[in-house]
Amino acid sequence: MGGNYSSLIMIALMVVVFYFLLIRPQRKRQQEQAQMQNSLSAGTRIMTTTGLFATVVAIDADDVILEIAPGVETRWIKAAIGRVLTPVDDVEDGDVENVDVVDDNVAETVKPHADDQDSPKK
């Protein structure tokens, strides 16, 4: 009878660990993504999930009109917006070494990567 309780407790513990390690962080990322997509406004520089850089021109219910080049506008769903790019002026001076310039007016903060195991050692 003690063995049944211990296996039941182990199963419950595995469900709790599974929830806190996988389900909860994924749900949080989805909420942050949805919040970012709903807070878009005209003039915002973005990058789509496919890597296309554009400027938001107009927003419909579930669609956004993006200008990918001067005079070239395309319609995308909001879910295709991967991230909002920050203007260079908003980046603090102390973070200069962690910034990649995407174009003249936009910068993207880059997190430093640890050395890959596959890369040759110098």
pLDDT tens-digit map of 56-109: 999 988 899 999 999 999 999 988 998 898 876 545 555 555 555 555 555 555
Predicted confidence band of residue 36 (pLDDT cuts 50, 70, 90): confident
Return the pLDDT at 45.
Answer: 93
What is d(CA 73, CA 8) in angstroms, rounded to the nearest whole number? 58
The whole-number average pLDDT for the span 12-40 is: 88
Return the pLDDT at 104.
Answer: 54
Phi, psi of 103 (to 5 degrees): -145, -170
pTM greater than the 0.75 cutoff: no
Give strand pairing partners of 103. Answer: 106
